[in-house]
Structure 1
Amino acid sequence: MSELIQAVLESEEKNDLRSFLSELRHQDKKYLLRNDILNVYSEYCTNYQKPEHFSASSSLGKLIYYTQEIIQDISGFCFIIRPKIATQEVYRLTDDLNVEPMSVQELLDLRDRLVNRFHPNEGDLLELDFGPFYDYSPVLRDPKNIGKGVQLLNRYLSSKLFQDPKQWQESLFIFLSLHQYNGIQLLINNRIQSQQQLSQQIKAAIAFVSSLPSQQPYEEFRFQLQTMGFEPGWGNTAARVQESLEMLDQLIDSPDPQTLEAFISRIPMIFRIVLVSPHGWFGQEGVLGRPDTGGQVVYVLDQARNLEKQLEEDAVLAGLEGLNVQPKVIILTRLIPNSEDTLCNQRLEKVHGTENAWILRVPLREFNPNMTQNWISRFELWPYLETYAIDAEKEILAEFQGRPDLIVGNYSDGNLVAFLLARRLDVTHCIIAHALEKSKYLFSNLYWQDLEDKYHFSLQFTADLLVMNAANFIISSTYQEIVGTPDSIGQYESYKCFTMPDLYHVVNGIELFSPKFNVVPPGVNENYFFPYTRSEDRVESDRRRIEEMLFTLEDSAQIFGKLDDPSKRPLFSMARLDRIKNLTGLAECFGQSQELQDHCNLILVAGKLRVEESTDNEEREEIVKLYRIIEQYNLQGKIRWLGVRLSKTDSGEVYRVIADHQGIFVQPALFEAFGLTILEAMISGLPTFATQFGGPLEIIQDQVNGFYINPTHLEETATKILNFVSKCEQNPNYWYEISQQAINRVYSTYTWKIHSNKLLSLARIYGFWNFISKQNREDLLRYIEALFYLIYKPRAQQLLEQHKYR
């Protein structure tokens, strides 16, 4: 039995539990989530006149705090308890307080019955269980270490080298022998025929290079090393070569995790990278603000630039300049023939500011031209992805003149294409979810059939399950993206156990303690986003133009609203107009607070201004809603709404101009997986108020370099902003203090240099792990393929049939 339940039953609070269950019986809801449970408990404490300490400190209070869900049926109550992060316990409590554990299968059956979609006479549902496939790999023990998987993997690999040196050193020798660049052998040549010979030659090579001046260029002693069996790749100077050889020597003699990571991270094994992002308008101009673009496009473009730069630096440090090494990064996306005013109909486009990074656009196969020649929502793209991957494979091989070394998927559709490509090409692959829709839409798996026509979650959630298990490693921007917080489950954690009634039960969807999870936050493009105080890097004409656009420009078809008093402190937000980004919620918060209106203007840069200009249903609904709020709260003269598409240069200057006016950035999303705009605002010097639901919890340190808000509590949000404004008015330095702390936070933790180094290090280490564990992974990949063809593909075919008539 749960210790939390047992503590209640063995105390004087037993009757309180019975009374609480009685209160639950009177609830209209049969399925209560954590907030519902806390609200019922709060009402119970009030109604029964419980002392204040009872609510939080009692055994019952602790049980309620850790209970994530309560489902009631005729036979009793199902308590789903999360006593610690990434751990779940399920119990049935009857009205007379009998307690018995419930299996995962029983829980899923109960959830099915709740939506009346469980028909026992029709047989049991398919059960998906990925658990057994993780038996071959190490797992973490402490949930605090989830997201630091590479550290466990390094410990595991170094211990194997120590425990079974002969076999593992042989594997390491073979691995080092494999690496080439354009047919040129790297690291070791055929003069070294065995692991034993490698060990001997390393010591001889160390003795040789240690006699050279430390900064002597590699090319000047290359021939001597080649005669000893060592090819380029060890370093660009005598000192670097010596350091690399000494690391390998130590790994052979007395391996340890730090040396293993440092050595593997130096191996020149990655020169060609594919970043996959099929959906949306993916381009460098004229795309932001359109459906399915925004933060992800910015992220991938910045990542491509910085990975190329890092690959070039790594090649120089490895001593490969003499081989004319030219690293190449390709962003794989879809070609849209009817591209409107964008370049999305161009097959190949160079990424600005790079030597060899490209956007490669591959069209969807011709089907219904109304669909395949136009933009398609990310929710509708699923039927085309398998053939898209097949076609993209040919294009990638042609562009690289060979296979890529690493494939990185972005978002659910890109992750599926990355898996299909990696499987066909036998390449290390990584996925980045950015956001998993399952967490964003309440009960989206339970009521998937009601949402299927609009969102096709059966395809998306199936794809998510397959790719997160197939990936060699997974990058998340934050820890909580994986396993949440003590009082909320994470995005990946939500895939651990769930039902899609009439389709399948997931009894073990993902191993959260697997070393494949690693937290690697993105950075900010410092060419465009930098502190407002760096006046020498700002263009005065741009500043004046942006200032006019934000505050005073009239008679523009892209701007709604004239400010009565432009000198008021600006409250600023910039995002696409959809339900989750919740800009309408911010407008309502502003509208409900007369005091906030007295002190501030609200300035929004968001999507379109007119319904007829949008092709996205959700955006249309939000446009109508925003106008209604402006009318309802009489916000004319207090709000500016800019329906503009900004270049990156202008976006950066917008933040800085708002900072010039000692403004405030508010990010009111109902959920935010990470929050790139938060980093952009903070590095610009804007005090930032951001949602407490999601990634901002890890970016911002509350009341130190920013502030958390609960965007569902409008009055509380307004009060927090007003408190800040009041402090600034009492102490003019307060705004500057928070501003500087925000800038410092970004520079210390969230740069693309840090991100690129970490990502490439992970790619090399997991590439090594993939090489030595390949045989054990094949059974998992076969299982995933079976589910792809038996579940995903038939449903994709059904959707394709529907597309015929659109």
Structure 2
Amino acid sequence: MIPEKGLYIQMFSIHGLVRAENLELGYDADTGGQIKYVLELCRTLSASDQIRKIDLFTRLIDDKSYSDDYGQPIEQVNDKFRIVRIQCGGKKYIRKELLWPHLDEFVDKTIIFIRQEKDIPDIVHGHYPDAGHVAMELGSFFGVPLVYTGHSLGRSKKSRLLEDGHDLIDMNRKLKIDHRIDTEEHILKSADRVITSTQQEIEGQYGMYRNRTLPMYKVIPPGIGIARFYPYYHDTFSSRTEEEEALYAKASVVQELNRFFTHPDRPLILVLCRPDKRKNIQGLVKAYGEDAELQAMANLAIFAGIRKDISDKEETERDVLTRMLLLMDKYNLYGKMAIPKRHDFEHEVPELYRIAAQKRGVFVNPALTEPFGLTLLEALACGLPIVATNDGGPREIVHNCQTGTLVDPTDTKEMASAIKDIIIHPDKWNQFSKNGILNTRKFYSWVSHARSYCTEMKEVCRKYEKTFITALEPKQSIGKRLAKLDYMLITDIDNTLLGGNPEELHALMDLLEKNAGKIGFAVATGRQFESALDILNTNGIRIPDIIVSGVGSRISYGDSLDHDKGWETHISKNWDPYLIASRLKEIDFIRPQEATAQTAYKISYTMAPGKDKLARIHHVLTKNRFKYTLIYSQDQHLDILPYRASKGKAIRYLSYKWGLPLKNILVCGDSGNDAEMLKGEPLGVVVGNYSPELEPLRSAKQIYFAKKFHAAGMMEGILHYQFIQKAKGMMPDGN
């Protein structure tokens, strides 16, 4: 249902340095045009009556090497737009390829944030595959549409790198390229809409994917900030009074450029990009360096990101910058070529375009591949003609704006010739400048972009709602349900929930069904997931909201049966089941259970009771320095799990993730593998048919030993704690 008050959209852009003002674009390979695009989109959407609220989620960075701005949990940009920073993978700044193992932590903490806010989004929109993964998981949990913008795609990058002679093993080690591609395939399978900047993206880039036909696509070209990127001649003819900061920025840029040039009044060839190999900076330097005529008529200024010391940069950036300097030296371009170390995006970059236009220069994008090319639009809006790569976005920009020249970026002679052709022909320069100014405003304003985006998002919601209504019961709504619940009943299956009088079981399930709006229902069992499902179905038990299976080694949700990836990431640390099993082969009194009893996070054995047997197993495991959880129950079942896994730890994780107070969780069990989850802050119920191994728990204040067996004992415990009344708010929690 489309809300009357407008849409609440959650945007995700996880990597890079994200803040509302003074963007440090080009600081590194991860702080590029995607960040600028997302911020401008959010800012413009927040001014629309069709938007109720918009939150941009990114990673919190508390690192002495970076501004304190990136460590601010919430940055209120305006009344409707916030930047929300979520911590994951520590607080130090790390490149995007190292973030993959921490994304499920980001998902979990975002769920906590959403529950605390008590405001579920209408749409989640991920930018780039890391954020796409996060948005996909959240969309599935909360039953809301997933929108995705790739910005750049893994398959095309992999293909390009292989053509350049890069080793695939090295690519996967450094870039996690195959993992990225696999994630992109999953996102395409789940996305309700994919937003692209050009038709070429759909055909040439998404067309390389197996799941390319599954999502619907919408081309919405990005906009530009017309107020900031105004034409160069305004400075001469307009009566507008510039802000002092803009005037200072202009003076600073002129001073910095003049520092490099012997003849500063010559036309300026301007380049503005990250120090990335595919940006092909060295191709342009070669084109300039090999053409003496071009050197004589124009200066070259390359703003290749932000740097203090090249030796401190990442290897790939260091290589690009070093090659640029070596080429400058090779062609003796001193006095003709400027290579400033930094630029202020907010104020200096617009002035750079206008200064280059006033000098009747050219902006060049020599990239080998270019999905869109936002800097081209900025240059054109300021009246600066362009020479750009004949690839992707530049083709559509040049076609729509009727301006500029497209070239083969690998042909240095063609590139140099195109630049000269514009500079030496005043009529062509004037026509290109005029067309760029007029047509960027016609085709590429942020207002029109936001209008198209809102129209498309409403359509996405309508289609999603139609699918939602068609289904008998929505499979993806578990997140919305759990986000609203404050009470949960969690029970073991065998000999607790099941095993007694069927009528008593049905009475219990009817009670839970009648109060389902207030109380969640979960099971925590030693059974494998499939086995748990089978026995619940056999006994006519509805699928619980949560299934904790394999003695806490897996958590699954609702009808969708999606497993909790955050939990698996959490428990997988320092877990090596194959090595543990090989070391336990020396023990002759344990026997591995059947293959169906084993999982990736649980090794199961059968062991008869005996003095010092458990001590021997602990000795073998600890002398090999394994971290583990060992559970022995019913005098026969021996389970070894990751040290972070158990039914009790799973319950505490669920409490943390979904904001369920432990004191509002009622836990029921009957045997030793229930002991840990019965202890502590949750309300505990031990049914009357319990195993003697639970006898030591009688002294615990928060555990009630029922007289009745199985489901009847659970009902007795519910009445003892007056659990239904508390959930309904009919009495305080403390009673």
Common topology (TM > 0.5): yes
Check whether the contact 1:611–1:624 (CA below 8 A) recurs between aligned residues: no
Decide whether aligned partners of structure 1 residues 758 and 547 sit closer, same or farther in structure 2, where only a CA change above 3 A counts.
closer
Q: Deviations over 1:314-353 (max 9, x none)?
A: 47xxxxxxxxxxx2211100001115224101101122xx
Q: Deviations over 1:347-372 (max 9, x none)?
A: 01122xx322111001005xxxxxx2
TM-score, normalisation: structure 1:
0.56
Unaligned runs of at least 5 residues, structure 1: 1-174, 181-267, 316-326, 366-371, 484-489, 497-508, 554-558, 802-806
Decide whether aligned partners of structure 1 residues 604 and 632 sit closer, same or farther in structure 2, where only a CA change above 3 A counts.
same
Matched, 1:356 2:54: no
Q: Which amino acid aligns with 2:100?
A: W
Q: Which amino acid aligns with 2:143?
A: D
Shift of 1:662: 1.2
Q: Over aligned residue pairs, what C-alpha RMSD do you find?
A: 3.2
Partner of 1:627: 325
Partner of 2:584: none
Check whether the contact 1:429–1:472 (CA below 8 A) recurs between aligned residues: yes
Matched, 1:681 2:379: yes
Decide whether aligned partners of structure 1 residues 705 and 341 sit closer, same or farther in structure 2, where only a CA change above 3 A counts.
same
Check whether the contact 1:286–1:342 (CA below 8 A) recurs between aligned residues: no
Partner of 1:413: 130
Partner of 2:36: 298
Partner of 1:760: 454
Check whether the contact 2:266–2:298 (CA below 8 A) recurs between aligned residues: yes
Matched, 1:747 2:441: yes
Q: Deviations over 1:93-131 (max 9, x none)?
A: xxxxxxxxxxxxxxxxxxxxxxxxxxxxxxxxxxxxxxx
Decide whether aligned partners of structure 1 residues 763 and 296 sit closer, same or farther in structure 2, where only a CA change above 3 A counts.
same
Partner of 2:119: 402
CA distance in structure 2 between the aligned counterparts of 1:702 and 1:598, rounded to whole angstroms: 33
Check whether the contact 2:104–2:569 (CA below 8 A) recurs between aligned residues: no
Matched, 1:528 2:253: no
Check whether the contact 1:444–1:457 (CA below 8 A) recurs between aligned residues: no
Check whether the contact 2:72–2:85 (CA below 8 A) recurs between aligned residues: yes
Decide whether aligned partners of structure 1 residues 275 and 796 sit closer, same or farther in structure 2, where only a CA change above 3 A counts.
farther
Map 1:430-441 onto structure 2 (within 5 A). 430-441=147-158
Q: Deviations over 1:489-515 (max 9, x none)?
A: x1101113xxxxxxxxxxxx3217x5x
Q: Which amino acid aligns with 1:511?
A: T
Partner of 2:194: 474
CA distance in structure 2 between the aligned counterparts of 1:725 and 1:659, rounded to whole angstroms: 11
Matched, 1:493 2:207: yes
Partner of 2:463: 769
Decide whether aligned partners of structure 1 residues 543 and 649 sit closer, same or farther in structure 2, where only a CA change above 3 A counts.
closer
Q: Which amino acid aligns with 1:452?
A: N
Shift of 1:544: 5.8
Q: Which amino acid aligns with 1:510?
A: R
Check whether the contact 1:419–1:470 (CA below 8 A) recurs between aligned residues: yes
Greater relative CO (CA pairs within 8 A, separation 6+): 1
Shift of 1:795: 14
Shift of 1:294: 2.2
Q: Which amino acid aligns with 2:71?
A: N
Q: Which amino acid aligns with 1:285?
A: N
Q: Which amino acid aligns with 2:217?
A: F
CA distance in structure 2 between the aligned counterparts of 1:459 and 1:592, rounded to whole angstroms: 41
Check whether the contact 2:261–2:336 (CA below 8 A) recurs between aligned residues: yes
CA distance in structure 2 between the aligned counterparts of 1:639 and 1:762, rounded to whole angstroms: 45
Partner of 1:95: none
Q: Which amino acid aligns with 1:402?
A: D
Decide whether aligned partners of structure 1 residues 648 and 544 sit closer, same or farther in structure 2, where only a CA change above 3 A counts.
closer
Check whether the contact 2:400–2:443 (CA below 8 A) recurs between aligned residues: no
Aligned residues: 484
Decide whether aligned partners of structure 1 residues 403 and 789 sit closer, same or farther in structure 2, where only a CA change above 3 A counts.
closer
Shift of 1:594: 1.0
CA distance in structure 1 between the aligned counterparts of 2:84 and 2:311, rounded to whole angstroms: 28
Map 1:713-752 onto structure 2 (within 5 A). 713-728=411-426, 733-752=427-446
Shift of 1:542: 5.5
Map 1:656-675 onto structure 2 (within 5 A). 656-675=354-373
Shift of 1:692: 1.0
CA distance in structure 2 between the aligned counterparts of 1:799 and 1:591, rounded to whole angstroms: 54
SS of aligned partner of 1:388: helix
Q: Deviations over 1:46-105 (max 9, x none)?
A: xxxxxxxxxxxxxxxxxxxxxxxxxxxxxxxxxxxxxxxxxxxxxxxxxxxxxxxxxxxx
Partner of 2:212: 510
CA distance in structure 1 between the aligned counterparts of 2:97 and 2:24, rounded to whole angstroms: 18
Pick the aligned partner of 2:268 from 570, 585, 594: 570
CA distance in structure 1 between the aligned counterparts of 2:76 and 2:156, rounded to whole angstroms: 35
Shift of 1:709: 1.6
SS of aligned partner of 1:685: coil
CA distance in structure 1 between the aligned counterparts of 2:228 and 2:62, rounded to whole angstroms: 30
Shift of 1:411: 0.9
CA distance in structure 2 between the aligned counterparts of 1:347 and 1:587, rounded to whole angstroms: 42
Decide whether aligned partners of structure 1 residues 609 and 707 sit closer, same or farther in structure 2, where only a CA change above 3 A counts.
same
Partner of 1:109: none
TM-score, normalisation: structure 2:
0.61
Check whether the contact 2:192–2:460 (CA below 8 A) recurs between aligned residues: yes
Decide whether aligned partners of structure 1 residues 659 and 800 sit closer, same or farther in structure 2, where only a CA change above 3 A counts.
farther
Decide whether aligned partners of structure 1 residues 541 and 789 sit closer, same or farther in structure 2, where only a CA change above 3 A counts.
closer
Partner of 2:15: 279
Decide whether aligned partners of structure 1 residues 529 and 693 sit closer, same or farther in structure 2, where only a CA change above 3 A counts.
same
Decide whether aligned partners of structure 1 residues 600 and 445 sit closer, same or farther in structure 2, where only a CA change above 3 A counts.
closer
Q: Which amino acid aligns with 1:739?
A: S
Matched, 1:336 2:35: no
Q: Deviations over 1:10-69 (max 9, x none)?
A: xxxxxxxxxxxxxxxxxxxxxxxxxxxxxxxxxxxxxxxxxxxxxxxxxxxxxxxxxxxx
CA distance in structure 2 between the aligned counterparts of 1:476 and 1:767, rounded to whole angstroms: 18
Matched, 1:539 2:260: no
Check whether the contact 2:13–2:128 (CA below 8 A) recurs between aligned residues: yes
Matched, 1:381 2:119: no
Decide whether aligned partners of structure 1 residues 687 and 359 sit closer, same or farther in structure 2, where only a CA change above 3 A counts.
same
Matched, 1:461 2:155: no
Shift of 1:743: 1.1
Fraction of identical pairs, as percent: 27
Check whether the contact 2:18–2:70 (CA below 8 A) recurs between aligned residues: yes
Check whether the contact 1:610–1:623 (CA below 8 A) recurs between aligned residues: no
Shift of 1:625: 0.6
Q: Which amino acid aligns with 2:192?
A: N
Map 1:443-462 onto structure 2 (within 5 A). 448-462=168-182
Check whether the contact 2:285–2:327 (CA below 8 A) recurs between aligned residues: yes
Decide whether aligned partners of structure 1 residues 383 and 681 sit closer, same or farther in structure 2, where only a CA change above 3 A counts.
same
SS of aligned partner of 2:79: coil
Pick the aligned partner of 1:427 from 141, 144, 153: 144
Q: Deviations over 1:231-256 (max 9, x none)?
A: xxxxxxxxxxxxxxxxxxxxxxxxxx
Check whether the contact 2:385–2:404 (CA below 8 A) recurs between aligned residues: yes
Shift of 1:606: 1.7
Decide whether aligned partners of structure 1 residues 794 and 656 sit closer, same or farther in structure 2, where only a CA change above 3 A counts.
same
SS of aligned partner of 2:339: strand
SS of aligned partner of 1:299: helix
Check whether the contact 1:611–1:620 (CA below 8 A) recurs between aligned residues: no
Check whether the contact 2:58–2:83 (CA below 8 A) recurs between aligned residues: yes
Check whether the contact 1:560–1:609 (CA below 8 A) recurs between aligned residues: no
Decide whether aligned partners of structure 1 residues 676 and 457 sit closer, same or farther in structure 2, where only a CA change above 3 A counts.
same
Decide whether aligned partners of structure 1 residues 611 and 623 sit closer, same or farther in structure 2, where only a CA change above 3 A counts.
farther
CA distance in structure 2 between the aligned counterparts of 1:392 and 1:787, rounded to whole angstroms: 18
Q: Deviations over 1:743-796 (max 9, x none)?
A: 1221111111111111111111121111222467989999xx999999x98899
Check whether the contact 1:334–1:364 (CA below 8 A) recurs between aligned residues: yes
Q: Deviations over 1:285-338 (max 9, x none)?
A: 35222121121111111101111111x2x47xxxxxxxxxxx221110000111
SS of aligned partner of 1:282: coil
